[in-house]
Amino acid sequence: MKALCRGITCPHFESSSLSFNFPYFKPWNKILFLGGQKKIGVRARNGFSIDAKMWSSATLDASSQQQISIQTDRKPNRSSSLYSRPSLLEMQKEKQTNRAMVYEFLKGIGIVPDELEGLELPVSIDVMRDRVDFLHKLGLTIQDINNYPLVLGCSVKKNMIPVLDYLGKLGVRKSNFTEFLRRYPQVLHSSVVIDLAPVVKYLQGLDIKPNDIPGVLERYPEVLGFKLEGTMSTSVAYLVGIGVARREIGGILTRYPEILGMRVARVIKPFVEYLEAIGIPRQGVARLIEKRPHILGFSFDDGVKRNVDVLLESGVRKEALSSIVMQYPEILGLELEPRIVSQQHFFNFNLDISPEEFGKVVEKMPQVVSLSQTPVIKHVEFLKNCGFSTENVKRMVLACPLVLALNLDIMRLSFDYFQTEMGRGLEELVEYPAFFTYSLESTIKPRHRRIAEKGLKCSLAWLLNCSDQKFEERLDYDYIDIEEMKTEPSFSMASRLAQSADESTSEDADYSEDEDF
């Protein structure tokens, strides 16, 4: 063996003659027997290989010419491998070629692939065509895809179908899938288990009813991308902190889920503090949010603050701002200035009400800024046909602007009863036009009968401008307080609606069908 190794140290071989015994070759990785009298190639673990001719199974023929080649620090010859694989460089070139073909296909149908660099795309045009066709079936156009081209990185089977199936099972209507995906295409990248299901569970934990979840998602699909412990939790906690009833949170979010995406420091808190600054107590702000949660979505600087400035510039007193907002919160979100200017001109032309006087009308009924002018003219004509002069109509509107917004049929019935049964003069209606705002059946008729039975004479204000309990107390008086009778009544929409809430009728606040608000 020493002769064979010729000076090469082989610690695994014995010095005596070497028998060809298979177990003896265990340290080597590969033994390739290429047939009798053929070459044997052995790759050793220590990094060298030995090539020799086939020898006898008993002993090595020392006289036969053998070649023992010891190679160290050399890579194996690739030509001897049983499998041929493309090189990394070849694979990269093939990938670039396929990607270029996919890009050409996308450009050919009008999609700009510039934003797709670095995104894993299908290796074939057929797969990409299937994705585009599937998105088309969902109602998305080429423009929609260009608005969010990353959607092309979503697999139809692995991403799109599971997400859409989950939304469908929740109750999101298929007819709304198109708009849903236009609003929030990122949902197709989401995992149902990891991303979507936890958000839905969180919404249910906020007392949003399961049947309302689909409507919430359709109205505000972006909510599916929010972190549970981020904006959503802080906005809800802040609302509860300012006095919004916890039991109302579910209903508030169902009507206006956009609150879940509002930052407290940037959006909600400044709005709340501003309303407090114009005179609305924090508890009043909380009640406003409970009833009209959408007001939190009004633009703050260009909307809320600007509209308050417009009201002040229009003759509204600063101390009346809180009452105006409480009566008509939507006034903060209107494009108010052109409405005010138009209504000032209209009221001045038709009723000789000056811009300064119009400010007083707004204080009593802020909805006047949204009244359609056509029904206003009809109401003015009705009052004139009843026998009132233009000056009298002006006085009635300044005292009770609501006469311009009530249902005309009900006003006719009340006026007929006033003339035929009550037998009072028109001047009393000029003094107290709020008569038209009371229910004929539940308030006017029964109270008139009671005073007629007692033979009492009183003003319309004494008769009507009080609750039922207060009216009963008045009937028990030994005499009627003259000062109480003669006190000029004041009208405001807020007080009138609060009083009508105590009366079991729907006629008190029965506005004209032609009004805007």
Kindly state the tokens that stand for 376: 């206003």
Tens of pLDDT, residue by residue over 247-290, are 999 999 999 999 999 999 999 999 999 999 999 999 999 999 99
Mean pLDDT of the chain: 81
pLDDT at 481: 54
Q: Given a cut of 90, is residue 113 above it in pLDDT? A: no
Question: Percent of the chain, pLDDT > 90?
Answer: 66
Q: Residues, the chain, total?
A: 517
Tens of pLDDT, residue by residue over 48-100, are 343 443 433 434 344 444 443 434 444 444 444 445 566 777 767 777 787 88
Among the residues of 352-479, which ranges form H helices? 355-364, 373-385, 390-399, 408-417, 426-431, 445-454, 460-464, 468-475
Number of other CB atoms surrounding residue 247 within 10 Å? 9
Tens of pLDDT, residue by residue over 324-361, are 999 999 999 999 999 999 999 999 999 999 999 999 99
Q: Tell me how many degrees the CA angle 153-158-159 measures, rounded to the nearest 5.
A: 55
Closest CA to 502 of 470, 454, 455, 459: 470
Is 253 in contact with 260 (CB distance < 8 Å)? Answer: yes
Tens of pLDDT, residue by residue over 170-193, are 999 999 999 999 999 999 999 999
In whole angstroms, what separates CA 442 from the centre of its chain? 43
pLDDT at 444: 97
Closest CA to 464 of 516, 512, 417: 417
Number of other CB atoms surrounding residue 517 within 10 Å? 16
Is 29 in contact with 43 (CB distance < 8 Å)? Answer: yes
What is the residue whose two structure tokens read 């049947």?
Answer: 211
Tens of pLDDT, residue by residue over 306-333, are 999 999 999 999 999 999 999 999 999 9
Q: Could you tell me the CA-to-CA distances from 269 to 232, 239, 327, 394 in Å, in that order? A: 15, 9, 22, 42
In whole angstroms, what separates CA 307 from the centre of its chain? 25
Higher pLDDT, 363 or 457: 363
Phi-psi region at 171: left, alpha or beta (left = phi > 0; alpha = psi -120 to 50):
left
Question: Which amino acid appears at position 32 of this protein?
Answer: L
**Is pTM beyond 0.85 here?**
no
Q: Given a cut of 70, is residue 418 above it in pLDDT? A: yes
In which element (H, E) is residue 244 found?
Answer: none
